[in-house]
Amino acid sequence: MPRPIKIKRIEALRLGLTRYYTGKTCKHGHRAERNTLSGNCSVCARKASRKWKRRNPEKVREISRKASVRQRAKWRRYRRLGLHLVARMAQRTEPKEV
């Protein structure tokens, strides 16, 4: 796997990137990409997210339930407007990569 290119946060912001790599370790010793907006290490952010999910299973279920309700409503709108057919046609006409 190729090594990531080292870039400063200000450059990443200017280029519109969502993540950047400095090559430096975070305060917990991870040498990983960082989030451009917050500057947080991606490994630390993933660990914090998992920890929050373990501690808040009810909230996770509620968020998941609301997301699935929104997704079903979105698909109902698509089907009513016939957009699902347009999406299928677009998939059929796109050339497949070899």
pTM of the model: 0.64
Q: How far is 45 from 43, CA to CA, in rounded Å?
A: 5
Cβ neighbour number for residue 20 with a 10 Å cutoff: 21
Q: Where are the domains of the chain?
A: 1-55, 56-98
Residue 6 β-bridge partners: 21
Q: How confident is the model at residue 97 (pLDDT cuts 50, 70, 90)?
A: low
- For 7-56, the pLDDT digits (tens) are 999 999 999 999 999 999 999 999 999 999 999 999 999 999 999 999 99
- Which among 77, 78, 86 is positioned nearest to 94, based on CA atoms? 86
Report the helix count and the strand count for the chain, using DSSP H and E. Answer: 4, 2
Q: How confident is the model at residue 3 (pLDDT cuts 50, 70, 90)?
A: confident
